[in-house]
Amino acid sequence: MLANIDAVANLAVKDLAVARRFYEDTLGLVQHKTEGDEVIVYRSGGTRINVYRSQFAGTNQATAVTWQVDGDLERIVAALKAKGVRFEHYDMPDTQLVGDVHVMGDMKVAWFKDPDGNILNLING
C-alpha cells in the first residue's frame, strides 16, 4: 500500500533558530518552506526533512535520519568535522573504528548529533 509513496523524516528540536543554523549552515540543507512558526521543511535529494519545535526534542535514542552518500563518506565526514561537527563513536561487535568512521566489512557508517541530540548518520552505498 505505501511502497511507492515517499516518506518524510521528522526531527523534533527545542529552538528553531539553533536548528536552522545547524541544518543550513553546517549541513548545507536548503529551506524548502516554513509552515507557520513551528516547522521548517528542508529538501534533501528527492526527499523532505521536517524540523519542528517540540517539548520532546532530544528524547530519541536511535538514529533518526540516514544519508546514503556512496563513495563520498570520508570526504563528507572531513568537511563536517571542519565545520565543528563532533562524530559519535560506538563500541559495536565486528566493527573497526577508522577515525570517525565505523567499518563493518564493506559497510562504512559515521554517526553525529544535531544540537538537540537527534542522531543522524552517513552511510556508504
DSSP per-residue letters across the chain: --TTS---EEEEES-HHHHHIIIIIIT--EEEEEETTTEEEEEETTEEEEEEE-TTTT---SEEEEEE-GGGHHHHHHHHHHTTPPEE----TT-EEETTEEEETTEEEEEEE-TT--EEEEE--
Compute φ and ψ for 110, nearest 5 degrees.
-130, 125
Q: What is the pLDDT of residues 49-91, one digit of tens each?
A: 999 999 999 899 999 999 999 888 999 999 999 999 999 999 9
Report the share of the chain in percent with pLDDT over 70: 99
The whole model's pTM is what? 0.92
Look at residue 33 in the predicted model and tell me its pLDDT: 84
Bridge partners of 35?
A: 39
Domains, the chain, ranges and CATH? 9-123 (3.10.180.10)
